[in-house]
A and B are shown apart, each in its own frame.
Chain A
Amino acid sequence: MSTSDRFPFLREFQPPAGAEGWERMYPYFLTSQAEGEQLEDERLWFADTMHWSRAVYPLDSIGAEAVYLGAGQNSARIFVLPTSLGLDMRVVNGYVYISPTGVTDSDVINERLVHFQERAGYYFANWDELYGKWKKKMTGVVEAMRAIEFPELAEYEPIEVVTEARGRSAAWDLIASYHKLIDDFFVAWQYHFEFLNLGYGGYITFFQTCKQFFPEISDQSVARMVAGVDVLAFRPDDELRGLARKAVELGVDGIVASGDDPAAIVATLRDTENGRAWIDALEAAKDPWFNYFAEYGFLHDQDTWLSNPSIPFAGIARYIEMLQNGEEIARDVAKLRAERDDIVAEYRGLLSEDEAAQFDGMLQLARTVFPFIEEHNIYVEHWTHSVFFQKLRELSARLVEAGFFADAEDMYLLNRFELDEVLADVVQAHVIGVPARGVQKWRAKVAERKGIMAALRSQAAAPALGTPPEEITDPFAIMNYGVTTERIRDWLGQSSGEGALTGAAASPGVVEGLARVILTEKDLPKLQPGEILVAPITAPSWGAAFSVASAVVTDIGGMMCHAAIVCREYGLSAVVGTGFATSRIKTGQRIRVNGDDGTVTIIGEAEEAA
């Protein structure tokens, strides 16, 4: 099947050898069931490798649940989007696939529209105030999660249980805290989508206004008129620039940039006064800015800058090198803002007075909502996820202590319901005073699933499955994931593996260079200056990489995905949402990235791998 009008059905996408039985690892409702087969066949499913770039561990699938619960409720039930419900979700061969749910009955659409206008209108009218509240809510959730503790299973309960007449054991908190952690995580994701769709809606409205006045205007020109210059999203990278500058000022840049062992570097720095001054600056930057995932933060085995200091240190070293070469590393905020204002003034100058007034109104709307679009990841994907996975690590340590698992990694091979059973087993056995009943049972499962996970991760996701509709209309699938009617057609045509890759022209410019395929953030330090970064998706936290890459290509993403936003900020050419870049392009191949028309062409074979 080289070209066809549909992709393989979910059940036709074969798991790799050794992954048989993968579906039993996940909660049943995340996997295909016989009763839903026909429905699944009739729909289009596309791989959400933007958020889960690799096959997900069973416990990590909680992220997919939380995301699409939050997205669904806000689209379908709270803000009542007239033409779409939520995004349905399945795990297939370990990858997360999602499917837009459209509303087509015009009576239903009209009914929903009335509710939507009232509800979304309320948020648009009170945006700044509600966004202020949102920040407080989010910070509150993060703080609450940080306060969660998983107590040791002590031989004797602490004396306070008696003196405070608690009447419940600290051991019980192992279960209660687990439930609280899950609850808070789900709540954070509901907050995430409280503003997101509306934010996109505001942006799309401005976008359409521009298209109406300038039918041929490019997506990126519109985006550039709205882009925030001084938003939270750039803070972590700005901290690295600041630390690089500080190192040079203090004369410790040679030490800070010496090699890839941050612990050794810090030890050396402690010997001098200036070194200690730099460490103080580093510590000050860490909270909260190093609660920052190098990737997207949806998998427990992804690093934050805290858990893997090599990543920020490599970034700092790069900036130090630039400073030593006499290059300017500061993001010229004033210049960026002036450029943005120039573009707006140019377009506005082409309009009549009435049109300009309308343009101003919609630009105002877009600029009101856009900070949320740019900033929310810091609160949710980075800060919430950072503490969430930190707490899971603490829980895992308790279970290893209790002799239940042999290794701290084992816990992630159970899904959240299985883990709940385990905790019940562990805590009940402990308080009763007997051995847990399931050690053998779960250790056997863990052993089996390690093999399955390794097999699943050896296979790339198919970009899409199922039957595409004639037209993709879901505005968010288009904006965020870059899944358009045209792209789907490209993917169908390309499943045979020929021709240039096409994607969304996310950031302008044509660049030729050597490709560097980076599948996980751990490989990021391999990226050499001038190479073209090819990745499933990039996160804003790859800032230092953006300073050395000459262009960016991703498998998934649309005009408004973070790779697109950040590349425009850094002035890097980018094509996102190509579907196949990481599987088609090999490191060392010479490629041409055309950020103007959204094509990526392989123009030369890799030389002998070094």
Chain B
Amino acid sequence: MTILTDSAAPEATDLSLVGGKAIGLARMTAGGIPVAPWLTVSTRVHRAFLEQTQLNAHIEGVVDAIDWHSQDSLADAEHQIAAIFAETPVPAGIAEDIAAAYQDLAERIGVPELSVAVRSSATAEDTADSSFAGEYETYVGITGAEQVVAHVKRCWASGFTAHAMAYAHDRGFSPLAVSMAVVVQKTVKSRAAGVMFTLSPSTGDRSRIVVEASWGIGLAVVGGEVTPDRYAIDKVSLTVLDRIPGDKKIEYLDGQTSTPVEDARHAQLCLSDSEVLELARLGKALEKQQGGPQDIEFAIDRELADGSNIILLQCRPETVWSTRKRAAAAALPLMDQVAASVFGLGKRGAAGSPGKRDLVLQEVRHAH
């Protein structure tokens, strides 16, 4: 039986053991990208569950009887299998292991009543090109060992929804061949959240990092419902150059509804300098790793201790400035460059001239 809590362990990147989603988390952690703390209930536990309960024998008959061209047949099979899962309890030994791992995680990060997301992390032999993205279930806001165990089982069952079975069949393998690891990951309790650009969004300056943040989860920033705080950081020296407090009248605490923010916090900076600098360090490292400017969503988890409370939620290449063709300026001969730079004189249309004056120069002929 294997439940993994150490993301640095060699098994943590064994696809057959932990599935795609957990490998992604382990790789991000190894790459210095902080994600919410998690544990992985490995495929070995899934197999133990199936063996001890003899579930596969029951399910096999149902799957064999599916008419793959019929939606009704698929839906019927889903219901039958769901009923089989419902009447099959998780064996006590397995349930205790999962519960203990969950309690350990809560203790380790110092959060009692730990709320987690329980997420399927599937794998199957010879499925390197099958991502299973979105095929299996994720459950959020789960609290308590009993509930966690129950939802791990639901993840295992989610391999047999109509669309998951069809997905597997279309790719030429049986739904029964899917091994399901399950990731149990802390729910991010966002004190503040926002976005970070590893360049200046206003000028495209790549020696700048700009962070915008507001109270609560990132919805208010992304949706433009508040004027967020704005922080400018020098990417080279990693110093905070500017902190402009926003006007943060509302915050989302749960992703559904916004609540008003008390007056005193409207213009109060929601990030500390050390948080801003830590974010910038992460942004700079990610940019280097990814080979270009990044657009990153982050949250500051209020339940986690200072220094380990930054969670990156999403990271994608910046597209506005990075795709813009930059003026090719190298063509100017030295003395034209000097004339342009020092005196603002350049040939009309010459790239790279700061052009304080718009003067057309005659062809420069050097006297002998």
User: Which A residues have a C-beta under 8 Å from some C-beta of B?
Assistant: 81-83, 106, 109-110, 113-118, 120-121, 124, 200-202, 204-205, 207-209, 211-218, 221, 343, 346-347, 350-352, 354-355, 357-358, 361-362, 365, 473, 475, 508, 596
Distance, CA A355 to CA B327, complexed state (A): 10
Distance, CA A346 to CA B356, complexed state (A): 29
A394 CB, nearest partner CB in chain B, Å: 43
Q: Is B128 an interface residue (CB 8 A)?
A: no
Most chain A CB atoms below 10 A, which of B234, B236, B342, B345: B342
Per-residue CB contact flags for chain B residues 322-360 toward chain A (1 = under 8 Å, else 0) read 000011111000111111111111000000101011010
Q: Is B206 an interface residue (CB 8 A)?
A: yes
The answer to whether residues A212 and B335 also contact, given A110-B361, A110-B362, A117-B366 and a CB cut-off of 8 A, is no
Q: Is B367 an interface residue (CB 8 A)?
A: yes
Q: 10 tightest CB-CB pairs across the interface, nearest first?
A: A208-B341, A215-B203, A205-B341, A358-B330, A117-B335, A350-B206, A216-B205, A214-B207, A346-B236, A83-B343
B292 CB, nearest partner CB in chain A, Å: 10
A212 CB, nearest partner CB in chain B, Å: 6
Distance, CA A304 to CA B361, complexed state (A): 49
Assess whether A365 is in contact with B334, with CB atoms less than 8 Å apart.
Answer: yes
B286 CB, nearest partner CB in chain A, Å: 14
Q: Is B34 an interface residue (CB 8 A)?
A: no
Cβ–Cβ < 8 Å partners of B70 in chain A: none
Cβ–Cβ < 8 Å partners of B364 in chain A: 113-114, 117
Cβ–Cβ < 8 Å partners of B237 in chain A: 221, 343
Cβ–Cβ < 8 Å partners of A212 in chain B: 327, 329, 352, 354
* B23-79 CB contacts (< 8 Å) to partner A: none
Distance, CA A217 to CA B203, complexed state (A): 11
Write the chain B residue with the least CB distance to A82.
B343
Most chain B CB atoms below 10 A, which of A115, A202, A215: A215
Interchain residue pairs with CB less than 8 A apart (9): A110-B362, A209-B341, A212-B327, A212-B354, A214-B208, A216-B203, A216-B232, A343-B237, A596-B241
Assess whether A82 is in contact with B206, with CB atoms less than 8 Å apart.
Answer: no
Q: Report which of B200, B328, B344 forms a contact with A215, defined as CB distance below 8 A.
A: B200
B160 CB, nearest partner CB in chain A, Å: 50
Cβ–Cβ < 8 Å partners of A352 in chain B: 326
Q: Report which of A115, A205, A354 forms a contact with B338, defined as CB distance below 8 A.
A: A205
Assess whether B339 is in contact with A362, with CB atoms less than 8 Å apart.
Answer: no
Assess whether A354 is in contact with B206, with CB atoms less than 8 Å apart.
Answer: no
Q: Give me 12 other A-B pairs in contact (C-beta within 8 A), A124-B334, A205-B342, A221-B234 excluded.
A: A110-B359, A113-B343, A124-B335, A201-B342, A205-B337, A208-B340, A209-B341, A216-B200, A217-B207, A343-B236, A354-B328, A361-B334
Assess whether A350 is in contact with B207, with CB atoms less than 8 Å apart.
Answer: yes
B326 CB, nearest partner CB in chain A, Å: 7
Distance, CA A357 to CA B328, complexed state (A): 12
Q: Is the interface of A mostly helix, strand, loop or mixed?
A: helix
User: Which B residues have a C-beta under 8 Å from some C-beta of A?
Assistant: 200, 203-208, 232, 234-237, 239, 241, 326-330, 334-345, 352, 354, 356-357, 359, 361-362, 364-367
Assess whether A113 is in contact with B354, with CB atoms less than 8 Å apart.
Answer: no
Give the number of A-B contacts (CB < 8 Å): 115
A344 CB, nearest partner CB in chain B, Å: 10
Cβ–Cβ < 8 Å partners of A202 in chain B: 338
The answer to whether residues A208 and B345 also contact, given A116-B339, A355-B326, A355-B330 and a CB cut-off of 8 A, is no
Assess whether B335 is in contact with A121, with CB atoms less than 8 Å apart.
Answer: yes
Assess whether A208 is in contact with B354, with CB atoms less than 8 Å apart.
Answer: yes
Cβ–Cβ < 8 Å partners of B330 in chain A: 354-355, 357-358
Distance, CA A207 to CA B337, complexed state (A): 11
Write the chain B residue with the least CB distance to A356.
B330
Cβ–Cβ < 8 Å partners of B334 in chain A: 121, 124, 361, 365
Distance, CA A274 to CA B200, complexed state (A): 61
Write the chain B residue with the least CB distance to A216.
B205
Q: Is the interface of B mostly helix, strand, loop or mixed?
A: loop
Cβ–Cβ < 8 Å partners of B342 in chain A: 200-201, 204-205, 208, 475
Assess whether A120 is in contact with B338, with CB atoms less than 8 Å apart.
Answer: yes
Write the chain B residue with the least CB distance to A225.
B236
Most chain A CB atoms below 10 A, which of B205, B234, B341: B341
Assess whether A114 is in contact with B365, with CB atoms less than 8 Å apart.
Answer: yes
Q: Report which of A109, A121, A215 forms a contact with B345, defined as CB distance below 8 A.
A: A109
Cβ–Cβ < 8 Å partners of B337 in chain A: 205, 209, 362
Distance, CA A110 to CA B344, complexed state (A): 12
Assess whether B344 is in contact with A113, with CB atoms less than 8 Å apart.
Answer: no
Distance, CA A334 to CA B337, complexed state (A): 33
Distance, CA A347 to CA B235, complexed state (A): 9
Distance, CA A357 to CA B329, complexed state (A): 11
Assess whether A214 is in contact with B345, with CB atoms less than 8 Å apart.
Answer: no
Distance, CA A475 to CA B203, complexed state (A): 24
Distance, CA A120 to CA B334, complexed state (A): 11
Cβ–Cβ < 8 Å partners of A114 in chain B: 364-367
Assess whether B329 is in contact with A113, with CB atoms less than 8 Å apart.
Answer: no
Cβ–Cβ < 8 Å partners of A116 in chain B: 339
Write the chain B residue with the least CB distance to A202.
B338
Distance, CA A354 to CA B328, complexed state (A): 8
The answer to whether residues A216 and B208 also contact, given A114-B364, A117-B364, A204-B342 and a CB cut-off of 8 A, is yes
The answer to whether residues A204 and B341 also contact, given A110-B361, A113-B361, A473-B356 and a CB cut-off of 8 A, is yes
Cβ–Cβ < 8 Å partners of A357 in chain B: 330
Cβ–Cβ < 8 Å partners of A347 in chain B: 207, 236
Cβ–Cβ < 8 Å partners of B359 in chain A: 106, 109-110
Write the chain B residue with the least CB distance to A124.
B334
Write the chain B residue with the least CB distance to A349.
B288
Q: Report which of A117, A124, A200, A221 forms a contact with B236, defined as CB distance below 8 A.
A: A221
B333 CB, nearest partner CB in chain A, Å: 9
Most chain B CB atoms below 10 A, which of A357, A358, A362: A358
B346 CB, nearest partner CB in chain A, Å: 11
Write the chain B residue with the least CB distance to A201.
B342
Cβ–Cβ < 8 Å partners of B361 in chain A: 110, 113
Assess whether A214 is in contact with B354, with CB atoms less than 8 Å apart.
Answer: no
Distance, CA A355 to CA B352, complexed state (A): 11
Cβ–Cβ < 8 Å partners of B239 in chain A: 508
Cβ–Cβ < 8 Å partners of A201 in chain B: 338, 342
A193 CB, nearest partner CB in chain B, Å: 15
Most chain A CB atoms below 10 A, which of B204, B207, B326, B336: B207
Distance, CA A213 to CA B204, complexed state (A): 9
Assess whether A207 is in contact with B366, with CB atoms less than 8 Å apart.
Answer: no
A360 CB, nearest partner CB in chain B, Å: 10
B208 CB, nearest partner CB in chain A, Å: 5
Distance, CA A191 to CA B276, complexed state (A): 51
Cβ–Cβ < 8 Å partners of B326 in chain A: 352, 355
Assess whether B354 is in contact with A217, with CB atoms less than 8 Å apart.
Answer: no
Cβ–Cβ < 8 Å partners of A217 in chain B: 205, 207
Assess whether B203 is in contact with A473, with CB atoms less than 8 Å apart.
Answer: no
A282 CB, nearest partner CB in chain B, Å: 40
Assess whether B366 is in contact with A475, with CB atoms less than 8 Å apart.
Answer: no
Cβ–Cβ < 8 Å partners of A120 in chain B: 335, 338
The answer to whether residues A215 and B341 also contact, given A113-B364, A124-B335, A358-B330 and a CB cut-off of 8 A, is no
Write the chain A residue with the least CB distance to B210.
A216
Q: Report which of A82, A215, A354 forms a contact with B339, defined as CB distance below 8 A.
A: A82
Assess whether B341 is in contact with A207, with CB atoms less than 8 Å apart.
Answer: yes
B212 CB, nearest partner CB in chain A, Å: 16
A41 CB, nearest partner CB in chain B, Å: 26
Cβ–Cβ < 8 Å partners of A350 in chain B: 206-207, 235
Distance, CA A218 to CA B330, complexed state (A): 22
Write the chain B residue with the least CB distance to A200.
B342
Assess whether B204 is in contact with A215, with CB atoms less than 8 Å apart.
Answer: yes
Assess whether A214 is in contact with B205, with CB atoms less than 8 Å apart.
Answer: yes
Cβ–Cβ < 8 Å partners of B200 in chain A: 215-216
A46 CB, nearest partner CB in chain B, Å: 20
B29 CB, nearest partner CB in chain A, Å: 25
B211 CB, nearest partner CB in chain A, Å: 15
Q: Report which of B241, B345, B356 forms a contact with A113, defined as CB distance below 8 A.
A: B345
The answer to whether residues A83 and B329 also contact, given A110-B362, A113-B339, A208-B340 and a CB cut-off of 8 A, is no
